[in-house]
């Protein structure tokens, strides 16, 4: 309750809460029929339905009334112990933020020793450890699968992390950097410099690089344009540039697709593809485990292999 703009609202809320409970108590007191001795015969209202269904006027049962009063007392007791009365913190000084902190500390205490075991292992060793594999997989499913797919094979604009060429590389240190800092692959929009027809010619040349069906004449026209504009990032041979994140255009792996229309779209409108940095959501220990899991996928590491036993025996 520290977010009131001034002291008045604290008192205002406290007044409304206490007045509410007082009103409830007054209400039950005003209906104090239940205190009187019960007559042997129940009073009738005189309403009759279906010939013989008579409406009675029973007093409220005593147990119900007792519970009503107990609830009011419980409410008052609660307000003494816990925050609820305006700015009053309650005599236990409880806050939910503090409870979360305690829970986190308890979790850290449980989890720290588990991660400590991997602190001195390198990524390939972690990848071969079956416990690390399970943790890494869970981290991946919770934090990465929404974009890269639960099988890590990606989809349009989200790279496949398992098979084929990768944009930035899959060496352990590259994976750690990618996951920790994120990546932003940008192909500039070249629509101002290149007309749609030329872009189509370049797209034909790009298709020829990976052996897809292409128009010979347009490809010949497109090649010099490619060399002028695209080779700086994608390389003269179209093999890409891992440092820039420019994909290899000679393989059959496509972030967006290989049709002329899609390639032309990339050229004219550009692309801005962002992998969010994970250092705010995951600890560095968690990043190592998930990186090892991803690394193991592309390397086909079998976690039940002998490496596991040797790593665990240490």
Write down the least CB distance from residue 185 to ligand HEC, Å: 2
Please give the structure tokens belonging to residue 95: 């806050």
Task: Provide, rounded to whole angstroms, the least separation between the CB of residue 211 and ligand HEC.
Answer: 15
Alpha carbons 197 and 189: distance in angstroms, whole number:
15
Q: Is the Cβ of residue 81 or residue 232 nearer to ligand HEC in the bound state? A: 232
Stretch that binds ligand HEC, among 32-40, 49-57, 103-111, 242-250 (CB under 6 A): 242-250
What would you report as the CA-atom Rg of the chain, rounded to the nearest whole angstrom?
A: 35
142 vs 51: CA distance, rounded Å = 66
Stretch of residues binding ligand HEC (CB under 6 A), selected from 10-18, 42-50, 208-216, 229-237: 229-237
Among 135, 230, 297, 311, binds ligand HEC (CB under 6 A): 230
* Dihedral over alpha carbons 276, 279, 285, 289 (to 10 degrees): 0
Minimum separation from the CB atom of position 29 to ligand HEC (A): 60
d(CA 303, CA 310): 12
Q: Report d(CA 137, CA 289) in Å as an integer.
A: 9
Q: Does residue 21 belong to the site contacting ligand HEC (CB under 6 A)?
A: no
Enumerate the H helices of 144-215 as residue ranges. 145-148, 172-181, 196-209
Q: Which is nearer to ligand HEC, 85 or 288 (CB)?
A: 288
CB of 136 to ligand HEC, least distance (A): 9
Residues 143-153, buried b or exposed e (16+ Cβ, 10 A)? Answer: bbeeebeeebe
255 binds ligand HEC (CB under 6 A): yes
Q: What is the per-residue binding string for ligand HEC in 162-201, x denoting contact by CB under 6 A? A: ----xxx------x--xx---xxxxxx-x-----------
256, 155 contact by CB (below 8 A): no
CA angle 39, 45, 49 (to 5 degrees): 130
Q: Does 70 bind ligand HEC (CB under 6 A)?
A: no
By CB under 6 A, residue 254 contacts ligand HEC:
yes
User: Binding of ligand HEC at residue 208 (CB under 6 A)?
Assistant: no
Q: Does 263 bind ligand HEC (CB under 6 A)?
A: yes
Tell me: does residue 299 bind ligand HEC (CB under 6 A): no
Cα–Cα nearest to 180, from 277, 115, 290, 273: 277
Confirm or reject binding of residue 159 to ligand HEC (CB under 6 A): yes
Among 127, 267, 297, 301, binds ligand HEC (CB under 6 A): 267
Nearest to 61 by CA among 41, 39, 33: 33
**What residues make contact with ligand HEC under the rule CB under 6 A?**
143-144, 146-148, 157-159, 161, 166-168, 175, 178-179, 183-188, 190, 202, 206, 226, 229-230, 232-234, 244-247, 249, 254-256, 263, 266-267, 271, 273-276, 278, 290, 294
């Amino acid at each position: 309750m520290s977010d009131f703009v001034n002291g008045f609202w604290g008192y205002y809320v406290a007044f409304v809460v206490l007045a509410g409970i007082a009103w409830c108590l007054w209400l039950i007191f005003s209906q104090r029929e239940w205190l009187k001795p019960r007559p042997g015969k129940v009073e009738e209202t005189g309403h009759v339905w279906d010939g013989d269904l008579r409406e009675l006027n029973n007093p409220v049962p005593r147990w119900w009334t007792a519970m009503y009063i107990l609830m009011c007392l419980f409410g008052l007791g609660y307000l003494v112990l816990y925050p609820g009365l305006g700015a009053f913190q309650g005599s236990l000084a409880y806050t939910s933020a503090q409870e979360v902190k305690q829970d986190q500390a308890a979790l850290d205490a449980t989890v720290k020793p588990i991660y400590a075991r991997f602190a001195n292992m390198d990524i390939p060793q972690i990848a071969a450890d079956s416990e690390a594999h399970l943790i890494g997989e869970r981290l991946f499913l919770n934090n990465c699968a929404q974009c890269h797919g639960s099988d890590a094979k990606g989809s349009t604009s989200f790279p496949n992390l398992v098979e084929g060429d990768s944009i930035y590389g899959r060496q352990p240190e590259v994976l750690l950097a990618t996951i920790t800092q994120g990546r932003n692959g940008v192909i500039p929009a070249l629509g101002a410099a290149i007309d749609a027809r030329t872009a189509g010619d370049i797209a034909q040349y790009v298709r020829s690089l990976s052996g897809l069906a292409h128009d010979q004449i347009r490809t010949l026209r497109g090649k010099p344009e490619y060399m002028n504009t695209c080779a700086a990032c994608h390389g003269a041979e179209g093999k890409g540039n891992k440092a820039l994140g420019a994909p290899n255009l000679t393989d059959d792996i496509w972030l967006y697709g290989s049709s002329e229309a899609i390639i032309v779209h990339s050229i004219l409108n550009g692309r801005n593809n962002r992998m969010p940095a994970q250092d705010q959501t995951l600890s560095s220990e968690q990043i190592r485990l998930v990186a090892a899991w991803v690394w193991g996928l592309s390397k086909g590491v079998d976690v039940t292999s002998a490496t596991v036993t040797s790593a665990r025996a240490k």
